[in-house]
């Protein structure tokens, strides 16, 4: 056998030995691991013991006897108490300022009274306002006489605006004739000249001779 062949045979044998050792180691590890797992399971079975404690069932106690108790007395609910009391209103008193002094002014002088109007003055003779010729015919036949008082108001032209009887003669026809003829014939000064607007007088009715 050549040297090269011997060398190669030696290396091969070495490799085979190494491979065999590896197999041995692996097998050992495998065997020991499986043995460890099996031993562990056996120990758990041996050490684990199920101990069941017998529990006695207790009988329920008998129900309590019912005792008839009198009903409680009625209790009236307590009256409602209003705890929230409104505070009294606060009044603010404001002191008014003192009144301003009153200055009394002297009274204004009263205007002078107007001068009294002058009496109405006739512009013609009052005796011509009613004459014997104006005597009412019926009163003349019956010979009735009397005195009639009258009052007239004067317009702006000095004429009679109205006539009223202030005292009757006792005969309506004589009173009516008085205002009729006085209104027609009397003339006065104009009131605008300061004369009054009212005039009063009387007419005496006498049967002529």
**Nearest-angstrom CA–CA distance, 199 and 121:** 8
In a domain, 67, yes or no: no
In this model, does residue 130 exceed pLDDT 60?
yes
pTM reported for the whole predicted model: 0.46
Residue 6 belongs to some domain of the structure: yes
Task: Please check whether residue 62 lies inside any domain of the structure.
Answer: no
Question: Per the domain annotation, does 178 fall within a domain?
Answer: yes
Mean of the per-residue pLDDT values of the chain: 77
State the Cα–Cα distance between residues 155 and 196, nearest whole angstrom. Answer: 10
Cα gap 70→73, rounded to integer Å: 9
Provide the residue range defining the domain that includes 131.
Answer: 126-205
| Overall average pLDDT of the 39-51 stretch | 50
| Domain-embedded: residue 19 | yes
* Total domains in the fold of the chain: 2
CATH of the domain at 181: 3.30.1150.10
d(CA 203, CA 174): 9
**φ, ψ for residue 159, nearest 5 deg:** -100, 165
Residue 151 covered by a domain: yes
- The DSSP letter of residue 130 is S
Does 138 reside within a domain?
Answer: yes
If one counts every other C-beta atom within 10 angstroms of the C-beta of residue 168, the result is 14
Mean pLDDT of 12-28: 78
pLDDT tens-digit map of 150-167: 999 999 899 999 999 999
């Amino acid at each position: 056998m050549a040297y090269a062949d011997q060398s190669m045979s030696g290396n091969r044998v070495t490799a085979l030995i190494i491979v065999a050792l590896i197999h041995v180691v692996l097998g050992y590890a495998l065997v020991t691991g499986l043995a460890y797992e099996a031993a562990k399971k056996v120990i758990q079975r041996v050490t684990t013991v199920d101990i069941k404690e017998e529990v006695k069932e207790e009988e329920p106690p008998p129900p309590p006897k019912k005792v008839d108790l009198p009903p409680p007395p009625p209790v009236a609910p307590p009256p409602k108490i209003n705890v929230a009391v409104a505070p009294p209103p606060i009044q603010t008193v404001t002191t008014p300022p003192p009144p301003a002094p009153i200055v009394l002014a002297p009274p204004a002088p009263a205007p002078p009274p107007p001068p009294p109007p002058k009496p109405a003055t006739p512009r013609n003779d009052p005796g011509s306002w009613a004459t014997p010729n104006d005597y009412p015919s019926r009163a003349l036949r019956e010979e009735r006489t009397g005195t009639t008082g009258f009052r007239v108001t004067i317009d702006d032209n000095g004429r009679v605006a109205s006539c009223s009887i202030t005292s009757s003669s006792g005969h309506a026809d004589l009173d009516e004739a008085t205002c009729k003829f006085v209104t027609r014939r009397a003339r006065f000064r104009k009131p605008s000249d300061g004369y009054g607007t009212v005039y009063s007088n009387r007419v005496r009715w006498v049967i002529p001779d």
